[in-house]
Amino acid sequence: MKFVAFTLLLSIPFVANSVQNFNNAKTHLVKIYKENPEQTTFYCGCEFSFDGKKGSVDFSKCGYTPRKNEQRASRIEWEHVMPAENFGRHLQCWQNGGRKECKKDSIFNMMEGDLHNLQPAIGEVNGDRSNYRYSLFTKEFTQYGQCQSAVDFQTRKFQPRDEIRGMIARTYFYMQDKYNINLSDSESKLMTAWNNMYPPEKWECDRNRQIEQIQGNDNKFITEKCN
């Protein structure tokens, strides 16, 4: 396992003039979204704004209804599209003590702070999604008002709205390719379908280019589909 980790480290370019970790990533993301205020939250398509680094959501503009935790729902959190457990469990630190132990690991910090895998989300939805797998299981969306995403707590699945499924797929392929993360057969089939069904729109292409300028690398699965 240590050899695998060392090999992985050698294969990952370091960010020029910046340490790639979650805290620095959040700083960059706030700047990106302040400069693109028309963009909305990932899972629910709600408008949001920043006061300094603190992001907040206006429920009235998107018909969002908090499911349980209004306080957490009112704030913006940075969601790992591929959950930290998915990329962390490949490392020895995760086996030694989970995410807390991996906070001491430079490889984990780099993966956790990869801008390509981070999206702005309503805090409550980010918490509900947890590390659940993406799936298709319902045609009814009532948990979060007019938000067209859903969670099944019993089977630990999360169904995202149509508009972001292609972005999710290309993020998963990016993480698989860059960090040697294994996808299950069912994940690979679902992501392949979503990648084909939902090509990038302008914001996904623009965001990819902006992140490349900051982080030093693009998501090639987006780049190859953008003009």
pLDDT digits (tens), the chain, 227 positions: 433 443 444 344 444 446 899 999 999 999 999 999 999 999 999 999 999 999 999 898 899 999 999 999 999 999 999 999 999 998 999 999 999 999 999 999 999 999 999 999 999 999 999 999 999 999 999 999 999 999 999 999 999 999 999 999 999 999 999 999 999 999 999 999 999 999 999 999 999 999 999 999 999 999 999 97
Q: 217 in helix, strand or coil?
A: coil
Closest-CA residue to 137 (of 171, 172, 186): 186
Which amino acid is residue 80, in one-letter code? H
> How high is the pLDDT of residue 2?
39
Alpha carbon distance 129, 149 (integer Å): 10
Beta-strand relationship, 133-134 and 157-159: parallel
Terminal CA-to-CA distance of the chain, rounded, Å? 40
Cβ neighbours of residue 111 under 8 Å, at least 6 residues apart?
Answer: 87, 88, 117, 175, 179
Q: Helix (H, G, I), strand (E, B), or coil: what is residue 25?
A: helix
Q: Which of 86, 85, 111 is nearest to 99 (CA)?
A: 85
